[in-house]
A and B are shown apart, each in its own frame.
Chain A
Amino acid sequence: MSYSITINGQAHQTDVDGDMPLLWFLRDTLELTGTKYGCGMGLCGACTVHLDGDAVQSCLVSVGEANGKKVTTIEGLSKDGSHPLQIAWLDNNVSQCGYCQPGQIMVAADLLKQNPEPSAEDIDTAMEGNLCRCGTYLRVRKAIADAAEQMKGGAK
């Protein structure tokens, strides 16, 4: 069977096994490695992408389930790294090893879309599923708050 998935605006046809998690389709088949593997069980958030606009953990979504849908990965979040979150991430020097950060940013982007003015509690709740072994959480919180502030200004 053949599947068609639009990834970062580009249509892809594939006949891989429909049970293959989207994560591995992205990483191994398409070689889009910005989406990371950390646990394969929906526990770490490193694999987060947007599926038809909503944040999902791509280790838990199969290629078959993504059929006919639009996927955005970290590589497609913005054309040139100019998403307010990406800028806030740089301004706050959030990354240590950086491995978890694509997943953090993809979840944060979803949060700000749904809740442009999140409280500190909203941020913690939204980010709870994204683990960072380097311990960058304080900066993740701050960067999201900064980006929200920035986007509010932009909308005025």
Chain B
Amino acid sequence: MNTQLKELNAITRRDFLKASGLSAGGLIIGVSLPMGVLGAADSADFEPSAFIHIAKNGDTTLFCGRCEMGQGISTALPAAVADELEADWTRVTVLQGDADKKYGPQDTGGSQSINKMLEPMRKAGAAGREMLVAAAAKAWSLPVADCYAKSHVVYNRKDGRKLPFGDLVELAGELPVPGEPVLKTRDQFRYIGQPLQRHDQDEMVVGKRIFGADKKVPGVKYAAIKHIPVLGGSVKPLDKSKAMAIAGVVDVVVIPRFENPYGTVGGVAVVADNTWTAQKALDALGVEFEAGENGSFNTTEYKQQLLRNVEAPAKVEFEKGSLDQAFKDAAKRHSATFETGFLSHSPIEPMAGLVWVQDDSCEIWASTQDPQGIQRTIGAYLERKPEDITVHVMAAGGAFGRKFKCDYIVEAAACSKAVGAPVQLTWSREEDTRTGYYHPCSAHRVEASLDADGNLTGWLHRAAFPTISSTFNPASVQPSADDLNAVSKHLYGVENMRVESGMARAHTRIGWLRSVYHIFYGFVINVFTDELAHEAGVDMAQFLRKMYDNNKDPEQQEQIKRSRGVLDKVVEMSGYGKNMPAGHGIGLAVHHSFASYAAMAAHVEVKGNDIKVHRVDCAIDCGLVLNPDIATAQMEGAVTMGLGFVLHPGISFANGAVVNSNYHDYPIPSVGEAPTKINVGFVGQQYRSTGIGEPGVPTTAPAVVNAIFAATGKRLRSMPIKLA
């Protein structure tokens, strides 16, 4: 990557402060996250987690511990810092930090990076600017008020003299770091809110970006793996000779299950001179497996069981008002049952990484969202201290929540240890499809009551799905109260409500997938709302506005206002409500997740069983938008991924194992399925910045399904949809 970062990572935190302070030439400002405490490089007990470094020649470097996986975080955040610093963006370089506690928590998910890091990072930038301005004032013996910074230069208001940042770093380094620097006001922003080009685009288009799967070190060997297909199963006794007879094979490594949330399900790996030889030898082995306790797990039956579990009263996790009374007094009652399927992340770069285990060291190069999770997990696996595990964070070729887990790194470590060489393990697509941490399938029974004026008076919601917690704690066999929050806390302000949790024991690993449970909550709540609007004789926008108006909960007023903001915007953008030609329809969905608000209108054409999504309008309120182009790209991606969730078959299991294998039987959207137009509108920019990576996903599927109803009058209640 580059020597500067390598050197920095080779030294301990305390040394870092010494080595990279003024003695290393330049000004360093550290910020500890998430509290945002600022400090100078030379204070003994200050432990910063992100850094700004300005060299004597003015070159400015930001060290950032968050992981880039396509969402543009390594552009949007530094641009905000550069803005506060009054740096010239073209002179700012961003370095991704290796795994180290000095960067604070590095796990990148839940659309949290911007949410938590923005203010502290902006403060660090502003502190730097104030120090440089103060240094110039000192040099010119002027009051600070007579000096100002602009684009890497400090100017003297009186006589127009100027000093570049680089010339000031030494002097600035002697000044105290201001504890509460003054942030810019919005009219002063130069980079925040601008569509700056991502700093990492250049190397991508020439094939020079090094992903986890691409990393090489001298003497590297290559591995391929077949996993135990059923969770809790085992490898049958094996004759290694068929693989060992193939030229170029180094070893066959049987990897037992490592029962750790981020561990491996176990399997058989072959290490060879190249990936292809390893794959070929693995096939030659004819590995067989014992299924074990989950061997009769089968999605068709499992889903039927979940549906049964939500038909009858289940465990009450939330209750308010009197639902029974509301149902008794209702002018109209409406109920429906929904089901959604297992989904896989399926990034185009499968799970891959390079590990070198030696007696006294372990070095890892990985596409990962959670480098410290690798340190912990590999530390436990090798029985070493986490800090003795070195993790280099490589670019991830898509992650979407899957690369939080590091089962592939555990397996590469097992291989490296067995053969005594660095090993690059690349999962085949088939293994990637079949060895996931899946988004769970779910079943929902929803019933609501309306009064004579079409007001929503009661809501019963019973949900059953295998939980993410089950991966951490097998005793978790049904959704917890927290897992049901998206329903119990939603913004309709229904006065009488009961939320129940149905049994759903997990038989596979369940994990986070971009927007997590909101994928099905967004679907169920929005489709059911469209149904209720229909029952009430109004359109969904009118129905939503009425519910927002009826919600007087003082704690939800801001949320309601912002939901209404995106709703109104998307109605305006899409012309929702206008007449459409036969076979065409516009469907609506609004959802609040990850502290942001999204509304979508999908324009769909239905011809027989053929569904074409022509256009999607999205209104998003994620507060102040740091980079509108990156935010727009995130929405385009969210819509496209959401289309796959609703239109393509999900993951299914038979005899405990995943049936799907590759992109032909677990298809993801192709260019032909992408809408001609995805329009993105931003509202609510007066609010604090919140995440954009996930909140666009939950609205796509329901908007499409509601559009299909508008086009055909056919109600669909499953995701993926089942036509006919």
Chain A residues within CB distance 8 Å of chain B: 16-17, 20-21, 24, 27-29, 31-41, 43-44, 46, 73-75, 77-78, 81, 85-86, 89-90, 93-102, 105, 120, 123-125, 127-141
Contacts and interface: CB of A to CB of B under 8 A. Distances in A.
Given A36-B348, A139-B633, A131 B200 contact: no
Nearest to A38: B348
B396 interface: yes
B678 interface: yes
Q: Most chain-B Cβ atoms within 10 A of its Cβ — which of A74, A75, A131?
A: A131
Given A99-B211, A136-B637, A31 B216 contact: yes
Q: Is the interface of B mostly helix, strand, loop or mixed?
A: loop
Q: Chain B, interface size: which category? A: 35 or more
B662 A39 contact: yes
Contacts of A37: 213, 275, 350, 426
A131 B208 contact: no
Interface in B385-404: 395-400
A96 B637 CA distance: 9
A20 B197 contact: no
Contacts of A101: 204-205
22 contacts: A24-B274, A39-B663, A77-B206, A81-B206, A93-B633, A94-B201, A95-B198, A97-B395, A99-B211, A124-B671, A127-B671, A129-B670, A131-B668, A131-B670, A132-B671, A133-B398, A133-B400, A135-B636, A137-B669, A138-B674, A138-B677, A141-B671
B202 interface: yes
Given A20-B276, A34-B206, A39-B663, A134 B201 contact: no
B237 interface: no
Given A43-B663, A134-B70, A140-B671, A98 B206 contact: no
B678 A81 contact: no
B638 interface: yes
B274 A134 contact: no
B348 A46 contact: yes
Given A90-B202, A130-B670, A138-B636, 4 more contacts: A29-B274, A39-B429, A135-B636, A138-B678
Q: Which 5 A-B pairs have the closest CB atoms?
A: A34-B207, A135-B640, A99-B397, A97-B70, A98-B204
Contact of B348 (A21, A100, A137): A100
A54 to B, nearest CB: 19
B348 A131 contact: yes
A93 B350 contact: no
Nearest to A130: B671
B347 interface: yes
B427 to A, nearest CB: 10
Nearest to B196: A93
Contacts of A29: 274
B671 A97 contact: no
Interface in B56-80: 69-72
B296 to A, nearest CB: 30
A103 to B, nearest CB: 9
A94 to B, nearest CB: 8
B348 A44 contact: yes
Interface string B411-430: 00000000000000010110
A99 B398 contact: yes
A90 B274 contact: no
A94 B636 CA distance: 11
A86 B206 CA distance: 7
A96 B641 CA distance: 13
B208 A34 contact: yes
A21 B668 contact: no
Given A43-B664, A131-B668, A90 B636 contact: no
Contacts of B200: 95, 98
B349 interface: yes
Given A136-B633, A140-B671, A95 B678 contact: no
Contacts of B216: 31, 33
B348 A135 contact: no
Nearest to B200: A98
A36 B395 CA distance: 13
Contacts of A38: 348-350, 429, 663
B18 to A, nearest CB: 37
Interface in B329-385: 345-350
A21 B279 CA distance: 12
A105 B348 contact: no
A75 B209 contact: no
A137 to B, nearest CB: 4
B639 interface: yes
Given A96-B70, A96-B637, A128 B202 contact: no
B348 A93 contact: no
Contacts of A32: 207
Contacts of A134: 70, 398, 637
Name which of A102, A120, A133 has the most chain B CB atoms within 10 A of its CB. Answer: A133
Contacts of B346: 133
Contacts of A128: 670-672
A20 B274 contact: yes
A110 to B, nearest CB: 15
